[in-house]
């Protein structure tokens, strides 16, 4: 008796083993061919990725170590300046102001951009709400309007002389706050405007809420859970991966937050730089002052900040994000 | 057998898919070949039409519009017509235009230059807009000499465009300033109109023979502005009941001229660069900023930034009909129309007031530039001359600009009279050329872009903040400018 059959070890000289070996050779060759074909199929996208993403990213990193100017007098050449731009970034008061403005905004914006759409999604999935579909459309509609157009409307809306808020407050005897010219109120105002565009987050939360298995609620109810316990112990853990996603997306959006304050408050971020976000400093240096090298440094600086915060969020995720299946 | 068939079928599918992918790639990358085909067919067509030359034989000259005026919606059709006429007039040059919104034109042009794709002709552009690209323009002296272009007719004006690189522009358009006033609001208040002409040295009198008679200076402007400013209850700014939170109309505005250097020049020309190359804000500028801050926030006689941006003024205060006087340039005629585009006929022009005996009609000048890396400078110069001379009057009318060549001013105002039929006092514009701001408020300075942006930061607090400490801000500005210049 060939004991190897029982031990699971095939003898290389047996006919069965030879057949298996031939099959492996055949499959190996086929696998190689398929890999090559696969590479051929994805090669256009790889070329695009290389040319339009990887190369510019690496080029911008290199640029950050040069004094590259978008427009310079003839005869002036780009030179390697080492870490001068990076040193300048740490000493630039406008950069620190831009970072501080961005952080203050983030402290308000990230919780709001998570809790506000979650709250609305919770309402919009309520079975008792009449006209759910209508409200879902209404809350999503602002996301479809170009932000520049909406910012112009907001400018009129928030005007302390003739805006609606001013008129409403004035009609009940209150003096309207100067929302756009007050150093204290401008960031909360921008957060308020930002809530206009949370339609996408609402849709994602609605999908997540609808995905929570109903039997979990039924089991919890049998155990005597009230509404708060249902939310805290069933809903929240089950939608926590989506919450993590939304927070990460908010963080990335924050790193690119530019359009609204730029259009509403101008490149200097009035009043007195109180709304000059880091991205606006980057824009001004690169596209107004044409300092391409320094601008690249600022872009990388922002990337490092956002990337670091994202890493922190992902590292803390194990304490508050619940996955239905254990990670392997 | 079935297995073999399946494998063959699989290979066939793979090959087809590969072919399809390659086809898609070829289609995506093959724009040029498609263009080549189309140009071939177009040349075939032109071959069949004797006498017509295909555009491929022509030298292409790119004209970049937007750094100054020219890219507003209502200006585009007229310029396109001029381009069409130029292209039809000869068969050597194909003039191609790029209209770029003024807000982004500087960035777009910088990107084009950085990419080695600079346009041949840039303009019309003023001194301020040009400073951002100083060192990029071609010295036109050689071309002027070789073509025999008559530059002498501009007298000394052409020297404005002479710098370290040579003569980089030919005077094209000038925009002196004047006082625009709303006749309806003056009539309503029972006040005499501002003076129609300058007197000796520019000094003139307001309301001669009336109870309001007095020297036409900024104190007088303040005095009558208070009468012309009215709140919702009908009180004027002299009344103790005047409600500054609900003002219906104002007396005065620095219309579209609220950049600090521009505003400051109303009280007298000056330079922030002192003789020892350090920063020194001219005293008369500081006085003007304080005067305007007081007009806005203490007297309620000029609109704040918030009022100007509100829906009732929509960013164009004087045109809203809620401001009685506006100190601004000739180009403001561009923007005096109602929502349907009908030109307004309830305004006129007056002389500018003096400040401590000095009258300034702040001056803007536009020109066309040729980029120094133009591959076809001769052809670009030919186009430039066409735009300057042959199509000059038509373009000036589109831009609302007066010809730098004073001989053409008469025809220009005849054209404007067709738009504004109320017999506007254009003489005061021509006379304003005697009181230009020298040095110009848009003059170049070291590290211009950063220094200019820093100066402009003062605009918003002056217009928005009643408690803004101008003296402290000036000291800080001077210190910052010294630092910016040392970096430059």
User: What one-character-per-residue DSSP string does A254-319 give?
Assistant: HHT--HHHHHHHTTTTSSTTTT--HHHHHHIIIIIS--HHHHHHHHHHHHHHHHHHHHHHHHHHHH
CA gap B348, B346 in Å, rounded: 7
Asked if A118 and A212 sit in the same domain, the reply is yes
Asked if A168 and A310 sit in the same domain, the reply is yes
Handedness of CA A33, A37, A43, A45 (dihedral sign): negative
Asked if A162 and A15 sit in the same domain, the reply is no
* Range among A76-85, B34-43, B230-239 with highest mean pLDDT value: B230-239
User: pLDDT value at position B259?
Assistant: 93
Within a domain: A131: yes
Q: Any residues with CB less than 8 A from the CB of A197 and at least 6 apart, and which?
A: A142, A143, A147
Separation of CA B253 from chain center: 18
- Return the H-helix or E-strand segment holding B189: helix B183-189
Question: What's the half-sphere exposure (Cβ side, CA atoms, 13 Å) at B20?
Answer: 7
The domain that contains A136 carries what CATH number? 1.10.3720.10
**Residues of chain B with a CB closer than 8 angstroms to some CB in chain A:** 14, 17-18, 21, 25, 106-107, 110-111, 113-114, 132-136, 245, 304-307, 309-312, 372, 449-450, 453, 456-457, 460-461, 464-465
Query: What residues are paired with B96 via a beta bridge?
Result: B62
Cβ count within 10 A of residue A239: 25
Average pLDDT over residues B325-352: 92
pLDDT range class, residue B30, cuts 50, 70, 90: very low
Q: Do A70 and B305 touch (CB under 8 A)?
A: no
Question: What's the half-sphere exposure (Cβ side, CA atoms, 13 Å) at A140?
Answer: 15
To 5 degrees, how large is the angle CA B218–CA B219–CA B222?
Answer: 85
Asked if A213 and A184 sit in the same domain, the reply is yes
Nearest to A70 among B111, B310, B450 (CB): B111
Is A275:A101 a contact under the CB 8 Å cutoff?
yes
Residue B25 has pLDDT above 50, yes or no: no
DSSP classification of residue B152:
G
Q: How far is CA B283 from CA A226, B7, B242, B280, B328, in A?
A: 73, 90, 32, 9, 22
DSSP classification of residue B156:
G
Residue B50 has pLDDT above 90, yes or no: no
Asked if A281 and A187 sit in the same domain, the reply is yes
What the block records as the tokens of A146 is 């170009």
Domain hosting A202: range is 84-320
Give A287 or B383, the one with higher predicted confidence.
B383
Residue B224 has pLDDT above 90, yes or no: yes
Cβ count within 10 A of residue A272: 18
Residue B190 has pLDDT above 70, yes or no: yes
What the block records as the tokens of B488 is 């430059």
CB contacts < 8 Å between A and B, how many? 82
Q: Any residues with CB less than 8 A from the CB of A212 and at least 6 apart, and which?
A: A234, A235, A238, A239
Q: A35 CB near a chain B CB, below 8 Å?
A: no
Burial zone of B369 (CB within 10 Å; 0-12 exposed, 13-18 middle, 19+ buried): buried
Distance from the Cα of A137 to chain B's closest Cα (Å) equals 29
Q: Do A289 and B310 touch (CB under 8 A)?
A: no
Residue B355 has pLDDT above 90, yes or no: yes
Asked if A91 and A178 sit in the same domain, the reply is yes
Is B226:B237 a contact under the CB 8 Å cutoff?
yes
| pTM assigned to the model | 0.78
Percent of chain B with pLDDT over 70: 88
Asked if A15 and A111 sit in the same domain, the reply is no
Q: Do B460 and A290 touch (CB under 8 A)?
A: no
Burial zone of B441 (CB within 10 Å; 0-12 exposed, 13-18 middle, 19+ buried): buried
Q: Do A270 and B110 touch (CB under 8 A)?
A: no
Within a domain: A79: no
Asked if A106 and A227 sit in the same domain, the reply is yes
Asked if A55 and A104 sit in the same domain, the reply is no
Task: Convert the pLDDT of each residue in B398-440 to its tens digit.
Answer: 887 888 876 777 778 888 898 899 999 999 998 998 898 888 8
Q: A23 CB near a chain B CB, below 8 Å?
A: no
Is B229:B299 a contact under the CB 8 Å cutoff?
yes
Backbone angles phi, psi at B291, to 5 degrees: -60, -45
Domain ranges of chain B: 57-175+365-404, 177-362+436-487
pLDDT range class, residue B33, cuts 50, 70, 90: very low
Testing the interface with A: which of B306, B315, B322, B453 to mutate, by most A Cβ within 10 A?
B306
Within a domain: A73: no
Within a domain: A326: no
pLDDT averaged over every residue in chain B? 87
What is the domain count for chain A? 2
Asked if A132 and A19 sit in the same domain, the reply is no
Distance from the Cα of B476 to chain A's closest Cα (Å) equals 13
Cβ count within 10 A of residue A256: 11
Q: What is chain A's pLDDT, residue by residue, as a tens digit (328 residues)?
A: 444 444 444 455 555 555 555 666 666 888 899 999 999 999 999 999 999 999 999 999 999 999 998 887 656 678 999 999 999 999 999 999 999 999 999 999 999 999 999 999 989 988 888 888 898 888 888 888 887 888 888 888 888 777 888 778 777 877 777 888 888 999 999 999 988 888 889 999 999 999 999 999 999 999 999 989 999 999 999 999 999 998 998 888 888 999 999 989 888 898 889 999 999 999 999 988 999 999 999 999 999 999 999 999 999 998 989 886 655 4
Asked if A132 and A38 sit in the same domain, the reply is no
Nearest Cα to Cα of residue B172 among B344, B401, B332: B401
pLDDT range class, residue B16, cuts 50, 70, 90: low
Which CATH class for the B57-175+365-404 domain?
A: alpha beta
Is B409:B402 a contact under the CB 8 Å cutoff?
yes
Within a domain: A75: no
What the block records as the tokens of B240 is 């103790």
Distance from the Cα of A268 to chain B's closest Cα (Å) equals 7
**Topology agreement, domain B57-175+365-404 and domain B177-362+436-487:** yes
Q: Enumerate long-range contacts of B341-347, CB under 8 Å, 24 or more apart.
A: B341/B74, B343/B419, B343/B420, B343/B421, B344/B319, B344/B420, B345/B420, B345/B421, B345/B422, B346/B182, B346/B183, B346/B184, B346/B321, B346/B422, B347/B180, B347/B181, B347/B182, B347/B183, B347/B318, B347/B422, B347/B424
Chain A's closest residue to B136, CA to CA, is A73
Nearest to B457 among A37, A268, A290 (CB): A268
Which CATH class for the B177-362+436-487 domain?
A: alpha beta
Average pLDDT over residues B140-156: 88
User: pLDDT value at position A326?
Assistant: 53
Helices (H), chain A: 3-7, 15-49, 55-63, 84-91, 93-124, 132-140, 147-158, 164-171, 186-194, 199-210, 214-222, 227-230, 236-255, 259-265, 278-283, 292-320
Q: A159 CB near a chain B CB, below 8 Å?
A: yes
CA gap A218, A236 in Å, rounded: 16
Contacts of A270 in chain B (CB under 8 A): 460-461, 464
Interhelix angle for A132-140 vs A199-210, to 10°?
140
Backbone angles phi, psi at A80, to 5 degrees: -75, 125
Is B126:B256 a contact under the CB 8 Å cutoff?
no
User: pLDDT value at position B45?
Assistant: 34
User: pLDDT value at position A132?
Assistant: 85
User: What one-character-per-residue DSSP string does A174-191 give?
Assistant: PPPP-TTT-TTTHHHHHH
């Amino acid at each position: 008796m060939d004991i190897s059959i029982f031990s699971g070890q095939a003898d290389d000289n047996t006919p069965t083993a030879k057949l298996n070996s031939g099959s492996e050779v055949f499959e190996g060759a086929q696998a190689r061919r398929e890999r090559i074909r696969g590479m051929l199929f994805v090669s256009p996208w790889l070329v695009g990725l290389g040319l339009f993403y990887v190369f510019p990213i690496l080029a911008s990193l290199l640029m950050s170590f040069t004094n590259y100017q978008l427009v310079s007098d003839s005869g002036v050449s780009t030179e390697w300046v080492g870490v001068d731009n990076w040193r300048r970034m740490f000493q630039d008061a406008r950069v620190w102001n831009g970072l501080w403005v961005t952080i203050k905004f983030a402290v308000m914006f990230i919780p709001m951009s998570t809790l506000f759409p979650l709250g609305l999604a919770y309402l919009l999935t309520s079975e008792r709400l009449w006209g759910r579909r209508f409200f879902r459309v209404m809350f999503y509609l602002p996301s479809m309007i170009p932000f520049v157009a909406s910012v112009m409307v907001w400018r009129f809306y928030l005007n302390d002389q003739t805006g609606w808020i001013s008129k409403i407050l004035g009609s009940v005897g209150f003096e309207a706050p100067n929302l756009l010219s007050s150093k204290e109120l401008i960031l909360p105002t921008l957060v308020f405007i930002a809530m206009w565009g949370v339609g996408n987050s609402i849709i994602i939360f609605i999908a997540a809420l609808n995905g929570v298995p109903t039997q979990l609620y039924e089991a919890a109810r049998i155990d005597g859970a009230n509404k708060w316990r249902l939310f805290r112990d069933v809903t929240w853990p089950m939608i926590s991966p989506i919450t993590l996603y939304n927070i990460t997306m908010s963080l990335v959006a924050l790193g690119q937050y530019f359009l609204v304050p730029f259009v509403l408050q101008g490149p200097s971020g009035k009043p007195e730089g109180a709304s000059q976000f880091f991205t606006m400093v980057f824009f001004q240096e690169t596209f107004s002052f044409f300092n391409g090298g320094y601008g690249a440094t600022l872009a990388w600086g922002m990337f490092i900040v956002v990337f670091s915060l994202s890493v922190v969020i992902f590292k803390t995720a194990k304490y508050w994000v619940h996955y239905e299946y254990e990670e392997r | 057998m079935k297995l073999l068939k399946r494998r063959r079928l699989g290979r066939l599918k793979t090959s087809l898919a590969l072919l399809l992918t390659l086809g898609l790639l070829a289609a995506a990358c093959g724009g040029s070949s498609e263009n080549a085909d189309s140009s071939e067919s177009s040349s075939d067509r032109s071959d069949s039409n004797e006498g017509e030359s295909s555009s491929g034989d022509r030298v292409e000259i790119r004209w970049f519009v937007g750094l100054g005026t020219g890219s507003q919606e209502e200006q585009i059709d007229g310029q396109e017509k001029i381009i069409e006429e130029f292209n039809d007039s000869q068969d050597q040059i194909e003039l191609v235009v790029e209209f770029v919104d003024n807000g982004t034109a500087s960035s777009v042009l910088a990107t084009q230059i950085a990419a080695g794709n600079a346009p041949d002709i840039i303009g019309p552009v003023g001194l301020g807009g040009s400073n951002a690209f100083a060192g990029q323009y071609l010295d036109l002296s050689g071309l002027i000499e070789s073509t025999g272009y008559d530059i002498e007719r501009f007298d000394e004006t052409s020297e404005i465009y002479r710098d370290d690189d040579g003569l980089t522009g030919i005077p094209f358009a000038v925009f002196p300033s004047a006082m625009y006033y709303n006749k309806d609001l003056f009539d309503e208040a029972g006040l005499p109109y501002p003076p129609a002409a300058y007197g000796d040295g520019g000094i003139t009198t307001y309301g001669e023979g009336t109870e309001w008679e007095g020297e036409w200076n900024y104190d007088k402007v303040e005095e009558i502005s208070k009468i012309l400013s009215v709140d919702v209850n009908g009180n004027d700014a002299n009344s103790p009941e005047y409600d500054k939170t609900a003002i219906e109309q104002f007396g005065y505005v620095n219309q579209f001229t609220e950049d600090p250097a521009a505003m400051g020049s109303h009280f007298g020309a000056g330079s922030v660069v002192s003789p020892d190359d350090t920063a020194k804000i001219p005293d008369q500028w500081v006085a003007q900023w304080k005067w305007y801050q007081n007009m806005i926030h203490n007297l309620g006689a000029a609109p704040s930034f918030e009022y100007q941006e509100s829906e009732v003024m929509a960013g164009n205060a004087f045109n809203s009909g809620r401001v009685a006087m506006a100190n601004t340039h000739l180009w403001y005629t561009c923007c005096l129309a109602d929502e349907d585009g009908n030109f307004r006929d309830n305004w006129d022009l007056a002389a500018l007031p003096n400040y401590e005996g000095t009258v300034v009609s702040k001056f803007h000048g536009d020109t066309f530039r040729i980029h120094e890396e133009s591959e076809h400078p001769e052809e670009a110069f030919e186009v430039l001359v066409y735009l300057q001379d042959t199509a000059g009057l038509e373009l000036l009318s589109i831009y609302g600009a007066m010809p730098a060549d004073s001989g053409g001013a008469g025809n220009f105002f005849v054209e404007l009279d067709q738009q504004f039929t109320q017999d506007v006092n254009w003489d005061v514009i021509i006379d304003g050329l005697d009181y230009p701001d020298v040095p110009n408020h848009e003059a170049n300075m070291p590290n211009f872009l950063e220094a200019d942006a820093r100066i402009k930061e003062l605009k918003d607090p002056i217009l928005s903040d009643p408690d803004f400490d101008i003296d402290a801000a000036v000291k800080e500005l001077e210190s910052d400018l010294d630092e910016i210049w040392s970096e430059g």
